[in-house]
Amino acid sequence: MIWMSGTDKLCTYINQNWLRFRGRSLVQELGNGWSEGIHAEDVRSALATYEAAFDRREEFRMEYRLLRHDGKYRWILDHGAPRYNLDGSFVGYLGFCVDVSESKEAEQALSNLSQRLIEAHEEERAWIARELHDNVNQQMALLAVHLQSLAQNPPTSSATLAHALEETVQLSHQISSEIQALCHRLHPSKLQLLGIAVAAESFCKEVSDRRRVAVDFHAQSVPRDLAPEVSLCLFRVLQESVQNAIKHSGSREIQVRLGAKDETIELQVRDSGIGFPPEKAIGASGLGLTSMNERLKLINGKLFIESKPGQGTIIRASAPVSRKGFNSMEARR
């Protein structure tokens, strides 16, 4: 969309593309008429940018929202430059405009995603801090007290000493188990070494033992050469889904199914708990479902949620088996 203005800053020419975009006549848009379509929140800064550049005879670029013929505001990139006669005298400005709404929307989407990822990272760090402080640190303090008690009041009989040492060993094993579980959540080494099926089964057993819930796992026809990006994504979805079920559903029984068919692998996590309205949960401030959905998008996967209040929840995640069609570098993040 092309425009021209004279030395008085008023618009003297607008081309047909502009007029079609605005849905107004040339007479309506000339002079200062073109500015009537600028969004109320943008008009002051747009005119100030235009007038300041005009007074200094400088080239300018600015963005503002402009009302289209269909009543929708679109983001416009407006680029203007001074015009001169052959003798060097100033005769006004020449400019062009481009609709950049799609790129602005994409930029905003990326910004929103970046913010969610930052929040997710901070949430993970907070979880690690809580685990270390509330579990590992407390158990280490208990172990220290136990050892100090043995040092200050050594048992007089070998049987009492053996019992005290056995308690110390059990406490050490418990601390080791907590640290191992923490490490496993942060970096599932079994996933790389043994594959998604073994890693998922191990995770479910670990959760069952630690949280005292029944997590029934079953895998069928899972390919051994599954793309690493797909394995990691599904494992993270499994972690999040099971943790959510334990935390929010109230159910003590969880079913996990993993299987592949027709170049697609699917993970399903089902509980028989209190359920929730999926449309409200997706838009909520919590990052669980959002992070799962974003992870799956990176590998061309899809997230499906079936839930109703009082009728339990089913989380299904499906993804292509091969790398074809997704950005592997992004999926590793």
* Chain-centroid distance, C-alpha 110: 10
Per-residue pLDDT for 280 more than 70?
Answer: no
pLDDT of 85-127, one tens digit each? 999 899 999 999 999 988 888 777 777 766 776 666 667 777 7
Residues 257 and 315 in one domain: yes
Residues 59 and 135 in one domain: no
Q: What mean pLDDT value characterizes the chain? A: 84
Confidence of residue 331 (pLDDT cuts 50, 70, 90): very low
Do the domain assignments include residue 106? no
Lowest mean per-residue pLDDT among 66-70, 270-274, 325-329: 325-329
Looking at 186, 212, 241, the residue that finishes a domain is 186
| Range of the structural domain that residue 63 is part of | 2-99
Q: How many CB atoms lie within 10 A of CB 10?
A: 13
pLDDT of 132-190, one tens digit each? 777 777 788 888 887 888 888 888 888 888 887 888 888 887 787 777 767 666 666 77
pLDDT of 205-222, one tens digit each? 988 888 889 999 999 989
| CATH code assigned at 203 | 3.30.565.10
Residues 120 and 81 in one domain: no
pLDDT on residue 147: 84
The model's pTM: 0.50
Residues 36 and 91 in one domain: yes
Residues 228 and 305 in one domain: yes
Residues 80 and 21 in one domain: yes
pLDDT on residue 227: 85
Per-residue pLDDT for 330 more than 60?
Answer: no
Residues 171 and 207 in one domain: no
pLDDT on residue 186: 63
Confidence of residue 282 (pLDDT cuts 50, 70, 90): low
Query: How many domains does one find in the chain?
Result: 3
Residues 213 and 302 in one domain: yes
Percent of the chain whose pLDDT exceeds 90: 43
CA distance 2 to 82: 14
Residues 154 and 20 in one domain: no
pLDDT of 36-70, one tens digit each? 999 999 999 999 999 999 999 999 999 999 999 99
